[in-house]
């Protein structure tokens, strides 16, 4: 099963024929724009639209998803310092983790480290493990796109200045301990909360 987020509303993709309480559509028949507009409309009314996209083959499920929308691949980091604080950025009024689009022919791990460095000013980054992929839909130049982000756990001993990449709309960069991280997550995104689900969330 996969979750593709539109803002904080998940669309469920699975090989189950039905999920109780969800509107099931064959992934082959999905027309994304009206579905996304419905999700956004219901979010605006304080409701949650419940959509489930189905295919009997898990591989085909993702193949069809990738065919339906232009795909943007990104890399990002959940970065720890020596005090086990985590690196957060603030953008569009919400707390987020640093991430960004990979460049042509760039390796995903290289991209993830580069984006963290560019967005925060932090250096000396070392990847300790791959976490997982998250999926969300966004709109750019009037077109809906699917962002697939590969998240890595990283560590650094950097103690220098934190420099927000203002050209990317980042207004703050902060190291946060567990208590402050939990507070930040109350004003974050569902995909980001997922990265903390085993550590910080009840």
pLDDT in tens, 66-91: 999 999 999 999 999 999 999 999 99
Q: Helix, strand, or coil here: 41?
A: helix
* CB burial of residue 157 (10 Å; 0-12, 13-18, 19+): exposed
| Res 202 pLDDT > 50 | no
* pLDDT, tens only, 37-76: 999 999 999 999 999 999 999 999 999 999 999 999 999 9
In this prediction, residue 199 carries a pLDDT of 56
CA atoms of 57 and 28, how far apart (whole Å): 12
| Res 201 pLDDT > 90 | no
- At 198, is the pLDDT very low, low, confident or very high (cuts 50, 70, 90)? low
* pLDDT, tens only, 5-16: 998 899 999 999
What is the number of residues in the chain?
202
- φ/ψ (deg, to 5) at 29: -100, 5
Q: What's the CATH class of domain 74-194? A: alpha beta
CA atoms of 40 and 142, how far apart (whole Å): 15
In this prediction, residue 115 carries a pLDDT of 98
Domain coordinates in residue numbering, the chain: 2-68, 74-194
| Whole-number average pLDDT of the chain | 94
* pLDDT, tens only, 157-192: 999 999 999 999 999 999 999 999 999 999 999 889
CA atoms of 193 and 113, how far apart (whole Å): 21
Is residue 157 within 8 A of residue 123, CB to CB? The reply is no
In this prediction, residue 51 carries a pLDDT of 97
Q: Which of 88, 104, 11 is nearest to 49 (CA)?
A: 11
Residue 32 region, left (φ>0) first, then alpha (ψ -120 to 50), else beta? alpha
CA atoms of 45 and 63, how far apart (whole Å): 33
Q: Helix, strand, or coil here: 107?
A: coil
CA atoms of 6 and 85, how far apart (whole Å): 29
In this prediction, residue 194 carries a pLDDT of 86
The CA-to-CA distance between both ends of the chain, in Å, stands at 22
In this prediction, residue 200 carries a pLDDT of 44
**Total-model pTM:** 0.90
Q: What percent of the chain has pLDDT over 90?
A: 89
Is residue 133 within 8 A of residue 91, CB to CB? The reply is no
* pLDDT, tens only, 127-166: 999 998 999 999 888 899 999 999 999 999 999 999 999 9
**H/E element, 146:** strand 143-155
* pLDDT, tens only, 127-138: 999 998 999 999
| Res 111 pLDDT > 80 | yes
Contacts of 50 (CB under 8 A, 6+ apart): 21, 22, 23
In this prediction, residue 197 carries a pLDDT of 77
């Amino acid at each position: 099963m996969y979750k593709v987020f539109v803002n904080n509303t998940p669309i469920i993709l699975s090989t189950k024929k039905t999920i109780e309480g969800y509107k099931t559509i064959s992934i082959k028949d999905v027309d994304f724009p009206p579905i996304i507009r419905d999700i956004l409309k219901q979010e605006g009314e304080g409701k949650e639209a419940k959509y489930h996209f189905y295919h009997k083959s898990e591989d085909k499920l993702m193949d069809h998803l990738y065919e339906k929308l232009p795909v943007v691949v990104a890399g990002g980091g959940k970065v720890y310092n020596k005090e086990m604080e985590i690196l957060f950025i603030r953008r569009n009024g919400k707390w987020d983790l640093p991430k960004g689009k990979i460049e042509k022919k760039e390796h995903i791990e290289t991209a993830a480290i580069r984006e963290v460095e560019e967005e925060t000013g932090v250096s000396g980054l070392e990847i300790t493990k791959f976490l997982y992929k998250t999926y969300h839909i966004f709109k750019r130049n009037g077109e809906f796109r699917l962002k697939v982000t590969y998240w890595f756990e990283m560590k650094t001993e950097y103690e220098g200045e934190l420099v927000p990449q203002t050209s990317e709309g980042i207004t703050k960069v902060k190291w946060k301990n567990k208590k402050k991280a939990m507070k930040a997550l109350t004003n974050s995104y569902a995909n980001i909360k997922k990265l903390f689900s085993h550590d910080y969330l009840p």
